Copies of this chain bind each other. A is one copy, B any other.
Amino acid sequence: MPSATVENYVKEILALSMEKGKAQVGMGEIARGLGVAPGTATSMTKTLEREKLVQYKSHKGVTLTAKGRKLGMGMLRRHRILETFLVETLGLDWTEIHGEAEELEHALSEKVLDRLDKFLGRPEFDPHGDPIPTKDGKIAQSNMRNLLECRRQVASKVTLITDQGVEFLNFARRKGLVPGASVEVISRDLVSDAVELRIGKTKPFTIGSKAARKILVASS
């Protein structure tokens, strides 16, 4: 069985390669993502290679093998099902579930995971809007745009908050920018770096472009 450390590395590599849209991931990115020294990532990479979870090109980066991708998808599945459980069943706040799931994901057997999934009614998205991979490692590829790219003057549904830090999640909730909410981009101004929004029929408000990029909406 892979150790918790191995599982974390593989999950991180998968997450990074997905958000970059590129399979190969560098040592520095991994190290930053996991909060370890660069040399640690290089050294751990050797272990992952020995386990045939990645393919490694020195000074270029790592790419997950089929086995690695499968493990990584499994970890995303665990993590997201757990987060859903923590919010839906136990009523934790969506700002505090990530850390909890980060630990629990390594202690859950396949069997318990499955029962949990069934108990929750086979959810498709976690509380942040991230899609939950199926048991065979497939992830629904959805069409999403962030608030800088989506159409203006048209209501869209918020689908995902990509920055899942406590700060940003609290901000997002305060503004009503939660998965499922209806949002309309009224205007965008590049010079003032401002994006004017309205949630449902409430009073419009303005956020910066950096924040706007972190909120994704469905783009039909």
Residue numbers of A with Cβ under 8 A of B are: 86, 89-92, 96, 100, 103-104, 106-109, 111-112, 115-116, 119
List 8 A-B pairs, minimum CB-CB distance, nearest first: A107-B107, A90-B115, A103-B107, A104-B107, A100-B112, A100-B109, A90-B119, A90-B116
Residues of chain B contacted by A115 (CB below 8 angstroms) = 90-92
Known pairs A89-B119, A104-B112 / 10 extra A-B pairs, C-beta < 8 Å: A90-B115, A90-B116, A90-B119, A100-B109, A100-B111, A103-B107, A103-B108, A103-B109, A104-B108, A107-B107
Closest partner residue, chain B, to A108 (CB atom): B104
Q: How many of these chains are in the complex?
A: 2
Closest partner residue, chain B, to A105 (CB atom): B107
Residues of chain B contacted by A112 (CB below 8 angstroms) = 86, 90, 92, 100, 104
- How far apart are the CA atoms of A106 and B116 in the complex, in Å? 19
- How far apart are the CA atoms of A18 and B115 in the complex, in Å? 34
Could you tell me the distance in whole angstroms from the C-beta of A180 to the nearest C-beta in chain B?
24
- How far apart are the CA atoms of A108 and B109 in the complex, in Å? 15
- How far apart are the CA atoms of A60 and B89 in the complex, in Å? 48
Closest partner residue, chain B, to A89 (CB atom): B119
- Asked if residues A92 and B104 are in contact (CB atoms below 8 Å), the reply is no
Residues of chain B contacted by A116 (CB below 8 angstroms) = 90
Residues of chain B contacted by A104 (CB below 8 angstroms) = 104, 107-108, 112
Q: List 23 A-B contacts (CB under 8 A).
A: A86-B112, A89-B119, A90-B112, A90-B115, A90-B116, A90-B119, A91-B115, A92-B111, A92-B112, A92-B115, A96-B111, A100-B109, A100-B111, A100-B112, A103-B107, A103-B108, A103-B109, A104-B104, A104-B107, A104-B108, A104-B112, A106-B107, A107-B107
